[in-house]
Amino acid sequence: MDRNRRASRRTWLKAATLAAAGVMTRAFAADAPLETRRIPKSGEAIPVVGLGTWQVFDVAGNATGLAEARDALARFVALGGRVVDSSPMYGSSEAVLGDLAASLGVQDRLWVATKVWTTGREAGIRQMEDSMAKLRVARLDLMQVHNLVGADRHLATLADWKKAGRVRYVGVTHYHAGAYADVERYVAKGDLDFLQINYSLAEREAAKRLLPLAAETRTAVLVNRPFAEGALFSRVKGRPLPPWAAEIGCTSWAQLFLKWILGDPAVTCAIPGTRNARHVEDNLGAGRGPMPDATMRKRIEAHLDGL
Ligand SMILES: NC(=O)c1ccc[n+]([C@@H]2O[C@H](COP(=O)([O-])OP(=O)(O)OC[C@H]3O[C@@H](n4cnc5c(N)ncnc54)[C@H](OP(=O)(O)O)[C@@H]3O)[C@@H](O)[C@H]2O)c1
C-alpha cells in the first residue's frame, strides 16, 4: 500500500469511526480526498476516477448541452477530479473541453488525455497538433493511439514527441475483446506508459490476460466503458442497492460498478462518460472510502449475475 492509499485508508477509518458514533450521516463526505494511484513508470499519482467525453461533450452549438458540460466540468474539478479523456473521433468534444476549461480557468488542474485516430505519419502529426490547439494545451499529459489505428507509425512519432517534451505519456486504446490479442502485442513490449481498455461488470474479459500483463509490464490502465456505455444501469433498473454495498461506502449503483473496477489493483483510473454534474459527483464518490477486496468483488459479481 503506497502513501496515498495509506492516507486514504486513514481518512476512511476516521470517517467510519465518526459514522459509527453517529457524528456523520454520510460516511464519505464529498470533500474527503479522492484516492490516487501511481503511474508505474513515473510514480506520479492521479485520481482513480476521471471523466470521459465521448458523445457527452460533443455539444458545440448546443447551448443547453454546453451549459450542462460546463457545470459537469466545474463540479468535476471542484471535487478533485483531474483526468479527462477525449479523441478527435469524438466530434467537437476536444474543442468543447478546451474552451470550457479555459473559460472556467481550470486548465492547470486538469490532466489531459486524448488520442490519435488516422493513418500515416504526417496525418498523425497534423491531427495531434490540431488536438493540442483545440484542447488549448502546449503539452499533453497523455497521447494514445485510438483503437491501434496506425499504431506503429504513431508510436514512433510519439517516442520523439516524448523526448521533446510535447507529450508526457504514451499509450494505446481499444474498446472490445476482439482486439485484445493485438493489444497484448503492444503491451507485452513493455514500453507503453498507458493502456486504455474496456472493463466492467458487463465486460470482464480484460481481467483474464490483459490486466495481469499491464501489471507485469508496469503499464498504467485507464478503464473506458466502465458502465458498458450505460448498459449496466438497465440491468439494475428498479432494483435496490444491496445493503452490504454500504460496507464499502457505496450509495449508488454507479459507485458499486466503479468500485468493482477499482478493486482490481492493475487499474489506475476509470473514466466514466457524462455531462451530468450529479452523475459526476456520484462517480467521484467511488474514488473515496474503502475499495472492495477479492471476496467483496466476487460478491458483487454474484449479485449482479443473479439478477
Ligand atoms: N478508446 C476507446 O475505444 C473508447 C471507447 C469508448 C469510450 N472511450 C472513453 O471512455 C469513456 C467512457 O465510456 P462511455 O462513455 O462509452 O461509457 P460509460 O462511461 O460506460 O457509460 C456512459 C453512460 O453512463 C451514464 N452514466 C454516467 N455516470 C452515471 C451515473 N452516475 N448514474 C447513472 N448513469 C450514469 C451516462 O449517462 P448520462 O450522460 O446521463 O450521465 C452514459 O449514458 C468515453 O467517454 C471515452 O472518453 C474510449
CA 173–ligand 1 middle distance (angstroms)? 15
Residue 222 in contact with residue 195, Cβ under 8 Å?
Answer: yes
- pLDDT at position 33, please? 87
Atom of ligand 1 nearest to the CA of 115: 1
- pLDDT at position 27, please? 47
CA 148–ligand 1 middle distance (angstroms)? 20
- pLDDT at position 4, please? 44
Residue with cell 464499502: 248
Residue 190 has pLDDT above 90, yes or no: yes
- pLDDT at position 17, please? 46
Residue with cell 449479485: 303
Residue 189 has pLDDT above 80, yes or no: yes
Confidence of residue 7 (pLDDT cuts 50, 70, 90): very low
Q: Whose alpha carbon is nearest atom 45 of ligand 1?
A: 52
- pLDDT at position 28, please? 61
Instruction: Identify the weakest region by mean pLDDT among 13-22, 68-77, 254-263.
Output: 13-22
The rounded mean pLDDT for the chain is 92
Q: What percentage of the chain reaches a pLDDT higher than 70?
A: 90
Q: Which of 24, 27, 25, 44 is nearest to 36 (CA)?
A: 44
User: Across residues 45-54, what is the average pLDDT?
Assistant: 98
The bridge status of strand 36-38 relative to strand 45-47 is antiparallel
**pLDDT for 113-143, tens place per residue?**
999 999 999 999 999 999 999 999 999 999 9
Atom of ligand 1 nearest to the CA of 55: 45
DSSP letter at 35?
P
Atom of ligand 1 nearest to the CA of 223: 10
Atom of ligand 1 nearest to the CA of 272: 19
Task: Give Dmax over CA atoms of the chain in angstroms.
Answer: 63
Residue 289 falls in which region: left (phi positive, over 0), alpha (psi -120 to 50) or beta:
left
Q: Which three cell numbers stand for residue 41?
A: 513508470
User: Across residues 72-91, what is the average pLDDT?
Assistant: 97
Atom of ligand 1 nearest to the CA of 278: 31
- The pTM is what? 0.92
Give, for 16, the enclosing helix (H) or strand (E): helix 3-20
CA 154–ligand 1 middle distance (angstroms)? 26
173 forms beta bridges with 196
- pLDDT at position 32, please? 78
Distance, CA of 281 to CA of 31 (rounded, Å): 11
CA 289–ligand 1 middle distance (angstroms)? 22
Task: Taking the CA atoms of 153, 158, 160 and 166 in sequence, report the sign of the dihedral they define.
Answer: positive
CA 215–ligand 1 middle distance (angstroms)? 24
Residue 20 has pLDDT above 70, yes or no: no
Residue with cell 523526448: 163
Pocket of ligand 1 (CB under 6 A): 52-54, 56, 85, 146-147, 173-175, 196, 224-230, 233, 254, 271-274, 276, 279, 282-283
42 forms beta bridges with none
Residue 22 has pLDDT above 50, yes or no: no
Helix axes 253-262, 277-285, angle to 10 degrees: 50
Distance, CA of 82 to CA of 76 (rounded, Å): 8
CA 172–ligand 1 middle distance (angstroms)? 19
**pLDDT for 193-230, tens place per residue?**
999 999 999 999 999 999 999 999 999 999 999 999 99
User: Across residues 286-307, what is the average pLDDT?
Assistant: 97
Residue 102 has pLDDT above 50, yes or no: yes
Judged by DSSP in three states, 255 sits in helix
Residue 15 has pLDDT above 90, yes or no: no
